Amino acid sequence: MIAIDTNIVVRIVANDEAEQVGRASAALAKGNIYLSLTVCLEAAWVLGSIYKKSRAAIADGLTAFAGIPTITIENPEALATALDWYRQGMDFADALHLAVATDLGCTSMLSFDNHFVKSAAKLSTIPVIEP
């Protein structure tokens, strides 16, 4: 299995440099590719901060990328949940942290982030609470 870095994901999703997109696509087509959640997290940040992609474009792009048949995702359920919550307004990093915690069976999550507390109350089955 071959792990990929954030720039591979960004190249494919942003589709911005034809030569590198072609090389990345050819590598992915060979199969047995590993996609970590940390790479997804960084890719979402790069696509939003650097490329100024919309929330919908980022979520759709990462969803499509994760759906490439040759890719094995670190925690596909948590990624799908996080992308769904992100589409609904939760910060992607918060959504990913909470989705992984939920998947691990945690009963709550502690945070001082009021926005996170409020958005989680609307979307998550476990509460985010202030300590």
Q: What is the pLDDT of residues 42-74, one digit of tens each?
A: 999 999 999 999 999 999 999 999 999 999 999
pLDDT value of residue 19 = 97
Which architecture does CATH list for 1-74? 3-Layer(aba) Sandwich (3.40)
Each residue's pLDDT tens digit, 9-24: 999 999 999 999 999 9
**DSSP letters for the chain:** -EE--HHHHHHHHHT--HHHHHHHHHHHHT--EEE-HHHHHHHHHHHHHTS---HHHHHHHHHHHHT-TTEEESSHHHHHHHHHHHHTT--HHHHHHHHHHHHTT-S-EE-S-HHHHHHHHHH-SS-EE--
pLDDT value of residue 43 = 98
pLDDT class of 118 with cuts at 50, 70, 90: very high
Taking all residues of the chain, what is their mean pLDDT, rounded to a whole number?
Answer: 96
pLDDT value of residue 3 = 97
Return the axis-axis angle of helices 37-49 and 92-103, rounded to nearest 10°: 160
Calculate the alpha carbon distances from 72 to 64, 89, 113, 117, 122 in Å.
13, 26, 32, 31, 30
Each residue's pLDDT tens digit, 82-102: 999 999 999 999 999 999 999
Distance (Å, whole) CA 25 – CA 56:
23
Whether residue 29 contacts residue 70, with contact meaning beta carbons closer than 8 Å, is answered with: yes
Q: Where are the domains of the chain?
A: 1-74, 76-131
- Is the pTM higher than 0.85? The answer reads yes
